[in-house]
Every structure is written in C-alpha cells, then in structure tokens.
C-alpha cells in the first residue's frame, strides 16, 4: 500500500511502523508482564507505559540475572528531604526483557522540556527500538506539567522536543522517534499540527481518533483519519491509528479503509490480549487461558503483586465467581490456590518470599474446586508447563547485580 510512497529512512536499530498491529501505551496495563503477554499472542510491537522524564533522570541501570531483565531503579524519596536509609529497597522505574522484547519495544516518554527529554531518552535508548513522545494523554497526571495532551496547545514546544530527540538520539543510538497525538477540534487545526510534526524528522505518528475532552466510552471519530494519513505519507512518515480497534482482523480492515499504515489496540488488549491473534489462527482465546499465561509471566518476572492483582481484575470477567474469590487474595500463593494452579504453587510461594509477602495471607481455599470448574467451563484445559528454574538460588543468595559484561543476547538494542 505504501511501498511506492516517500519514506523517512528507518534507522539501523529502529523499526518500521508500517503493517504493524501494536499494543498501546497504558499506565499499569503496560508493565512488562502485560507486554510479554501481548507479544506472546502476536502483537507486532509494544509500547511501554508513559514514563516521565524526571523519573528516569538519576536512575541506575542494572541487569537482574534472576528475572533476566534490565531495570532502571532509584531510591524512593519517601516524602522526605533526608536521604533514604541503606535498608530501603530501590524502586523500579522501568524494566525491559532484552531477549523477548528485542526490536519490539517502544519507550514512551512524558515530557514538556526538550533538554530533559533528551537526558531521559539517552538512558534507555540503547535498550529499546524507538522513543515515542506522549502528546495525547488527557489525564491530570500527564497534563499537569504541560505534558501529554497539554502539548497539543503548545505546538512550538512539542516540535522543539521532537527536533531535540531527532538531533540527539537518532544519530547516536540509531533508533527512530515518534509521537502520539489526538485530533483537534477541526480538520484544519489537526492538519496544520500534523504538517508541523512530520517536518521534525520523526519516523512515525500515532493519532488517537478522539479529541482531548473525549473519553473511551465515546466513539472514536475517524473523519480526519485519511487526511492525517495523507499528510504523513507526503512527508514519508508512517501513520498509525488508535481508537476503538478491537482485534487484529478489525485493525487490518481499518488500515485498508482509511489508508493508514498500522493500528494500535488499547482497551480490548487490556481485557484480552489474545485479540492480537488473527481469526485464521483461531482468534481470541478464552479468558482462563490468557490468565494462566499471564500468571506464568508474572512469576517468571517476580512482578509487583499490586500490579498483578490489578491486571487480573481486567482479565477476569467481573461476573465470574473467580473474580469475586480473587479479590481478597493478597499473595501469589493464594492466587494460584484459587485458580487451581497446583503446578505453580512452589514457584508462587518462592516469589511471595522474594517480595516479602506472607504466602498464607488472605484467601478462600474452600472455593478452589469451584474455581477449577469455572476455569474449565471458560475453556481452560490441561496444565501448561510450570514456571520453574533448574538453577534457583537460595533467597539469601538472590539479588540484582550489574555484571561487567552482559550476554550479547541480553543487551541487544531493544524493543519498547
């Protein structure tokens, strides 16, 4: 479709957004286990959650041999000007899986300052496949400092940010820069903005087909989409659409209909990331199959329990008895007990101890049989390979370290 059109050159370690069905950047729902789940079910690229520039600046990059991830960490401020004590655990600001996300991860940055954007991007650019500027999120945590959708009202600043990233990040790290926006009140205003953005040297532009005041429950507006795609193509920039895309097959249909290059899935991917499976491959899977795969990833990655619990409330239907039984659980052990994952119990207990969680707290063992029946009714059959390691260390021996030289397979220029 776009093979004869002008194209911005793709940097050597970057990605071409054309022909891609991708996972949208989502706070909480875009953490590492969720991204791996989307890739597992066929997402072509994944966006990490918006990460504010100031939160990245000052972090320490380190390799975690137990989870095989790269982490950017810092000491929490704990609301005090005094430095934290030596026993205070580092907070993980961002992490990637350099093997499973290689060439497929896009780091989305929240910023309103060109210099800070470059400083933050430089910290992670060697480990991702692209840097994306968030100029579309309408929520206060993003717009309060002139970031997110607030940048749509300050196009000079937005262009300066993109130009700074293109000038400083692309030559050094050989990855592309992109931006995610929303449509404006009129087609004329949107066109004027897009023409300025594609002239900055970016490789891709994603447009969420809603205005800033609109919310997900309101239907996406696609009347401006073909115009936006045409403006992008004139400049050789890939155009990705976002808004009310529910599956891979629907995405491909919309790409053809509106002449865009790719499509981004958000809400449906949060509910059931197997939506990235084409109908020819069997289409989306039952939620129970997806939940099991998700739990396996969270145990492999020793994911923060609060995030896992939140995602389970998205993946498990609210009317299911399993949803109600999962709600009071406060440990991985209890989660696996409720879901009938006997083969994962040993690993679940180990992860609980690693995360300083009491494996025995809060849960209703009496409903284990009932939940197993519910899972079977939802389409879960058989038991997947358990998440174990033949070389697990004693808890006292575990710890994150930064080796003098990381394995080549784990330092390849990434994803996001």
Is the pLDDT confidence value at 407 over 50?
A: no
pTM for this model (two decimals): 0.86
pLDDT higher at 300 or 360 = 300
pLDDT in tens, 240-293: 999 999 999 999 999 999 999 999 999 999 999 999 999 999 999 999 999 999
Six token digits for residue 344 = 């994962």
Is the pLDDT confidence value at 362 over 60?
A: no
The mean per-residue pLDDT over the stretch 335-339 comes to 96
pLDDT higher at 367 or 95 = 95
Report pLDDT for 235.
97
Residues linked to residue 181 through DSSP beta bridges, in sequence order: 135, 207
List the chain domain ranges: 21-281, 287-379
The mean per-residue pLDDT over the stretch 190-202 comes to 98
What is the C-alpha to C-alpha distance for residues 293 and 86, in angstroms, rounded to an integer?
Answer: 36
Among residues of the chain, what percentage have pLDDT more than 70? Answer: 83
pLDDT higher at 165 or 81 = 165
Six token digits for residue 397 = 């021996």
The mean per-residue pLDDT over the stretch 183-193 comes to 98
**Gyration radius from the chain CA atoms:** 22
Residues linked to residue 238 through DSSP beta bridges, in sequence order: 204
Is the pLDDT confidence value at 126 over 60?
A: yes
Residue 324 exposed, middle or buried by CB count within 10 Å (0-12, 13-18, 19+): middle
What is the C-alpha to C-alpha distance for residues 45 and 261, in angstroms, rounded to an integer?
Answer: 13
Report pLDDT for 87.
62
The mean per-residue pLDDT over the stretch 214-220 comes to 92
Distances in Å between the alpha carbon of 58 and those of 71, 80, 108?
A: 13, 17, 18
Is the pLDDT confidence value at 379 over 60?
A: no
Is the pLDDT confidence value at 300 over 70?
A: yes
Report pLDDT for 372.
53
Is the pLDDT confidence value at 360 over 50?
A: yes
The mean per-residue pLDDT over the stretch 379-401 comes to 43
Q: Considering the chain, what is the average pLDDT of its residues?
A: 87
Report pLDDT for 160.
98
What is the C-alpha to C-alpha distance for residues 105 and 108, in angstroms, rounded to an integer?
Answer: 10
Phi, psi of 251 (to 5 degrees): -60, -45
The mean per-residue pLDDT over the stretch 293-317 comes to 97
Is the pLDDT confidence value at 390 over 50?
A: no
What residue has token string 């115009």? 227
Q: Beta-carbon neighbour count of residue 156 at 10 Å?
A: 9
Report pLDDT for 86.
58
How do beta strands 45-47 and 51-52 pair?
Answer: unpaired
Is the pLDDT confidence value at 83 over 80?
A: no
What is the C-alpha to C-alpha distance for residues 338 and 357, in angstroms, rounded to an integer?
Answer: 17
Give a three-class secondary structure readout of the chain. CCCCCCCCCCCCCCCCCCCCEEECCCCCCCCHHHHHHHHHCCCCEEECCCEEHHHHCCCEEEEECCCCEEEEEECCCCCCCCCCCCCCCCEEEEEECCCCCCCCEEEEEECCCHHHHHHHHHHHHHHCCEEEEEECCCCHHHHCCCCHHHHHHCHHHHHHHHHHHHHHHHHHHCCEEEEEEECCCCHHHHHHHHHHHHCCCCCEEEEECCCCCCCCCCCCCCCCHHHHHHHHHHCCCEEEEECCCCCHHHHHHHHHHHCCCEEEECHHHHHCHHHHCCHHHCCCCCHHHHHHHHHHHHHHHCCCHHHHHHHHHHHCCCCCHHHHHHCCCCCHHHHHHHHCCHHHHHHHHHHHHHCCCCCCCCCCHHHHHHHHHHHHHCCCCCCCCCCCCCCCCCHHHCCCECCCCCCHHHCCCCCC
pLDDT in tens, 52-67: 999 999 999 999 999 9
Work out the pLDDT band at 399, boundaries 50, 70, 90: very low
The mean per-residue pLDDT over the stretch 136-145 comes to 88
Residues whose CB is less than 8 angstroms from the CB of residue 108 and which lie 6 or more positions away in sequence, other chains included:
25, 47, 48, 49, 50, 51, 131, 132, 133, 134, 180, 416
CATH topology for 21-281 is TIM Barrel (3.20.20)
Is the pLDDT confidence value at 404 over 50?
A: no
Report pLDDT for 388.
43
Report pLDDT for 355.
96
Work out the pLDDT band at 216, boundaries 50, 70, 90: confident
pLDDT in tens, 6-41: 889 999 999 999 999 999 999 999 999 999 999 999
The mean per-residue pLDDT over the stretch 125-154 comes to 94
The residue from 137, 232, 329, 336 that is catalytic is: 137
Distances in Å between the alpha carbon of 322 and those of 39, 106, 304?
A: 26, 34, 21
Is there a catalytic annotation at residue 137?
yes
Is the pLDDT confidence value at 303 over 90?
A: yes
Q: Give the residue from 344, 339, 324, 335 showing the smallest Cα distance to 363.
A: 335
């Amino acid at each position: 479709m776009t093979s004869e059109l002008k194209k911005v050159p793709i940097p050597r370690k970057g990605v071409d957004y054309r022909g891609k069905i991708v996972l949208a950047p989502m706070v909480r729902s875009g953490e590492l286990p969720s991204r791996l789940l989307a890739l597992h079910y066929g997402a072509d690229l994944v966006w990490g959650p918006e990460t504010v520039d100031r939160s990245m600046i000052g972090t320490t990059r380190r390799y975690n041999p137990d989870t095989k991830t790269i982490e950017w960490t810092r000491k929490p401020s704990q609301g005090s000007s005094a430095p934290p004590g030596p026993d205070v655990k580092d907070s993980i600001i961002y992490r990637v899986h350099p093997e499973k996300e290689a060439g497929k991860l896009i780091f989305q940055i929240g910023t309103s300052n060109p210099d800070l954007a470059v400083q933050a991007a430089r910290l992670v650019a060697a480990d991702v496949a692209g840097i994306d500027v968030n100029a579309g999120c309408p929520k206060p945590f993003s717009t309060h400092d002139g970031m997110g959708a607030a940048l749509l009202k300050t196009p000079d600043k937005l262009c300066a940010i993109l130009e700074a990233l293109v000038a400083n990040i692309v030559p050094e790290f050989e990855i592309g820069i992109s931006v995610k926006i929303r449509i404006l009140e009129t087609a004329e205003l949107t066109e004027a903005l897009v023409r300025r953005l594609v002239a900055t040297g970016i490789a891709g532009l994603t447009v969420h087909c809603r205005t800033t005041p609109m919310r997900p429950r309101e239907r996406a507006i696609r009347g401006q989409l073909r115009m936006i795609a045409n403006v992008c193509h004139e400049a050789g920039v890939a155009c990705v659409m976002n808004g009310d895309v529910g599956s891979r097959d629907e995405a491909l249909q919309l790409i053809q209909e509106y002449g865009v290059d790719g499509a981004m899935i958000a809400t449906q991917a949060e509910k059931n990331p197997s939506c990235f499976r084409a109908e020819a491959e069997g289409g989306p899977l039952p939620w129970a199959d997806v939940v099991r795969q998700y739990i396996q990833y969270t145990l492999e990655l020793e994911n923060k329990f609060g995030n896992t619990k939140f995602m389970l409330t998205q993946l498990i239907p609210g009317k299911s008895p399993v949803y109600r039984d999962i709600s009071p659980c406060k440990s991985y052990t209890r989660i696996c007990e409720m879901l009938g994952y006997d083969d994962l119990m040993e690993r679940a207990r180990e992860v609980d101890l690693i995360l300083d969680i009491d494996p025995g707290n809060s849960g209703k063992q009496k409903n284990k049989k009932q939940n197993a029946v519910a899972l079977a009714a939802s389409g879960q059959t058989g038991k997947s390979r358990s998440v174990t390691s033949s070389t697990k260390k004693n808890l006292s021996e575990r710890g994150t370290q930064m080796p003098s030289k990381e394995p080549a397979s784990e330092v390849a220029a990434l994803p996001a």
